[in-house]
A and B are shown apart, each in its own frame.
Chain A
């Protein structure tokens, strides 16, 4: 087995650092003045009511959207201020699992995992295949390597998407709504899998979710985006947020009507 990565040297920059980030589509501001840091090896949940900009924040963190203002630093590097070559190297160090899975529909499951491996590693085809099979087996999809995404169930698509996100052993894993549309048991198994990955590989995990049971089960840090004030109103462990001074946060975390 691979030994857990020893603690990162104190000088290392935090995996994710956001400074004065304002997100907007044209004139419409989604969230403003976000400032936060996510610690290495933590599982951080981005929470907030529907439509508050959780997924948009994730799209900014992974470089799909450019900030209207402010900076997003991944391991100390600004995605929007690095030359293309370094940017690609940086992109390779994180994995993304999209809300709908976003598996490439013209490729089989194993080809989906193999594509990044083929692009970015020098593994021989046979070795790459073995790695891809292993990643699929980790998510419980052994035997489904040659299925196309349209031939498997929604829960399996999500697990395959997680296997693909882990293809290059990312240092940061971004997961958008892992349990949306899953039954409680599949959702629980996905949570266990994420926890296991963090514990064994030391991956930093950022999850966009509003599934409270899942947040309390796995997250050790949480960001709360507010719909009304359009900014970050709380950060802390889910348990602390449940006793927050802010009534909106407390109500959300305890599933009460405000």
Chain B
């Protein structure tokens, strides 16, 4: 009805404007502005006057969220000074204009602030406002839980305890995984062969493009940086040794490990974490099927099988990257480079590289799966598990790389 009236009015204005030769949009601006500033609302106000046996709080004007209002503290103070000895404060809403949900909220806040000496009487308020306050009920503070004091030392202690608990849990899963491996070797592991092949596909062939790119670039960089230094002594030919040994023995495994941590470690944690959220892991446990055998074993085995292949491939691509630089920028003959590389590389270097790759792969599988199994029961927790899986994987890889390098050095391998 009002819509129709408004339309009619607008039509009337438009016609008038048209006949009066005024631009249409001017009329529209005029109409819109009219609508926004409708009737000006009286600002919210309050007054407190003492009367025998109590005091009266008279509210007037519009108590709405779009109106600037007196501070509750001011009302509280005025009420306290009107009723120094306590008593009943009658709230009078007879002069009250339009109000919304902020009014009952304010009244409840006042009641809380003034309690227990001053009691609000809401009988003279509009029925709706009084009912809403009553519906919210008197605010009952929940059982007082005194939070422990929060300071620097407490936080250090807490995070130390958390780390220790985390470490213990990690060791427990490690133990379970070793038992599962034992069961696997004894042919008793409950694991689906299909799952294994599926993970093999995911972690192996699918990782080829990114491994190719990264190894090629790292080979290029290694050759370029090394060759610049070697050129000072006229020993450019040793680029072949540098790149060959460096890539095959250390860097191929390291780079592949980090790529796999980012791809597969994160994927494992997200898969297992989501299964935890869906209670699928609980379902395994209630069937007496150890999740470690069913879920962790295929992932671990797939990485153990695929990592040596990926590492070998990464080493080969890296050497090619080095050759590219040597051939094009430093004018070394292809045949020469090939022979120098063959002379430099021994089977030991290859074996060390493959061993490291396999080790890093197992660590990634371990970190990814354990973080997934430790996951909490929310979407947030899955995100945290994934992040933590990648961080833990990379940490493990770097520590393992340092340890193995030192140990092999000492052993003279």
Contacts and interface: CB of A to CB of B under 8 A. Distances in A.
A102 B287 contact: no
B288 interface: yes
B45 interface: no
A87 B288 CA distance: 8
Contact of A99 (B190, B279, B285): B279
A28 to B, nearest CB: 10
A59 B281 CA distance: 13
A88 B195 CA distance: 24
B195 A106 contact: yes
Contact of B282 (A64, A92, A116): A64
B280 interface: yes
A42 B278 CA distance: 29
- Interface range on chain B: under 10, 10 to 19, 20 to 34, or 35 or more? 10 to 19
Interface of A: 59, 62-64, 87-88, 91-92, 94, 96, 98-100, 102-106, 115-116, 119
A100 B279 contact: yes
Nearest to A97: B283
B190 A104 contact: no
Interface in B282-340: 282-289
B288 A64 contact: no
6 closest residue pairs by CB, A with B: A102-B279, A88-B288, A91-B288, A102-B283, A98-B279, A96-B286
B287 A91 contact: yes
B288 A92 contact: yes
A93 B283 CA distance: 14
A87 B287 CA distance: 11
B103 interface: no
Contacts of A63: 285-286
Contact of B275 (A91, A92, A105, A119): A105
B283 A104 contact: yes
Contacts, number: 46
B33 to A, nearest CB: 50
A63 B283 CA distance: 11
18 contacts: A59-B282, A63-B286, A64-B286, A91-B288, A92-B287, A92-B288, A96-B283, A96-B286, A98-B283, A100-B278, A100-B279, A102-B278, A103-B280, A103-B283, A104-B284, A116-B289, A119-B190, A119-B287
A96 B289 CA distance: 14
Contacts of B274: 105
A61 B245 CA distance: 59
B289 A119 contact: yes
Contacts of A103: 280, 283
Nearest to B274: A105
A98 B282 CA distance: 9
Interface in B166-191: 190
Nearest to B282: A64
A152 to B, nearest CB: 15
Contact of B286 (A62, A100, A105): A62
A103 B190 CA distance: 18
A91 B283 CA distance: 11
Nearest to A59: B282
Contacts of A59: 282
B158 to A, nearest CB: 13
B195 A91 contact: no
Contacts of A106: 195
B28 to A, nearest CB: 49
Contacts of A94: 286
A156 B278 CA distance: 16
A119 B190 CA distance: 8
Contacts of B284: 104
B148 to A, nearest CB: 12
B194 to A, nearest CB: 9
A64 B285 contact: yes
A236 B287 CA distance: 30
B287 A105 contact: no
Contacts of B278: 100, 102, 105
A115 B289 contact: yes
B188 to A, nearest CB: 12
Contacts of A98: 279, 282-283
A102 B289 CA distance: 14
Interface in B247-292: 274-275, 278-280, 282-289
Contacts of B282: 59, 64, 98, 102
